[in-house]
């Protein structure tokens, strides 16, 4: 039942989360467990199903895989649950960039650093071209081979507000 319609007919999300914690314990390694409900409608416009989606987030680890499997096994054990599965997404690496004291002295802020790194790797829209009903964005960024290399990030020169470039 959707959260807004549960009322006295069923538990709210906090109750469900507390019950999950009782069953599986605290979630390891600063991972989070999110619960989402979604009302769906059949072709006839009537309420067809009421899916419940659980999402376990956090660093990739064997412990998280075990917890995800335990959750899907537990769900499968209940009558009325049509499908339950654990899907592991490919881990995504993250790089944290911080300013050195000299960069701050030169006027470089975290925002300047982030903007220039984003432009280099994701790109910046230079122009939009309209062809018929289609619109194309022209992006300026580093070539793909350079964007795939950590070495490029290490060698990237950052422009200071004064117009000079620094890279370490």
Q: Using the predicted structure, report yes or no on whether residue 164 has a pLDDT greater than 60.
A: yes
The rounded percent of the chain whose pLDDT value lies above 90 is: 30
Rounded distance between C-alpha atoms, residue 55 and residue 61, angstroms: 15
pLDDT in tens, 80-95: 666 666 666 666 667 8
Q: What's the predicted TM-score (pTM) here? A: 0.47
pLDDT in tens, 34-82: 655 555 555 666 555 555 666 676 667 777 778 777 877 777 777 766 6
Phi, psi of 98, rounded to the nearest 5 degrees: -130, 155
74 in Cβ contact with 23 (< 8 Å): yes
On average, the pLDDT of the chain sits at: 76
pLDDT in tens, 124-146: 999 999 999 889 999 999 999 99
pLDDT tier for residue 163 given thresholds of 50, 70 and 90: very high
Q: How far is CA 97 from CA 43, 73, 155, in A?
A: 49, 40, 13
Residue carrying the six token digits 């390891």: 28
């Amino acid at each position: 039942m959707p959260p807004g319609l549960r009322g006295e007919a069923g538990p709210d999300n906090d109750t469900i989360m507390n019950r999950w914690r009782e069953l599986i314990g605290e979630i390891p390694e600063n991972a989070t467990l999110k619960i989402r409900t979604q009302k769906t409608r059949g072709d006839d416009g009537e309420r067809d199903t009421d899916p419940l989606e659980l999402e376990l987030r956090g660093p990739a680890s064997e412990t998280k895989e075990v917890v995800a499997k335990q959750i899907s096994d537990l769900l499968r054990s209940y009558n009325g649950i049509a499908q339950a599965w654990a899907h592991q997404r490919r881990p995504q690496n993250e790089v944290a960039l911080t300013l050195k004291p000299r960069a701050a002295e030169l006027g470089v802020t975290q925002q300047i650093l982030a903007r220039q790194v984003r432009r280099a790797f994701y790109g910046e829209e230079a122009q939009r071209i309209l062809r018929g009903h289609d619109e194309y964005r022209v992006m300026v960024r580093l070539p793909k081979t350079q964007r795939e290399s950590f070495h490029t990030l290490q060698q990237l020169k950052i422009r200071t507000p004064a117009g000079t470039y620094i890279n370490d």
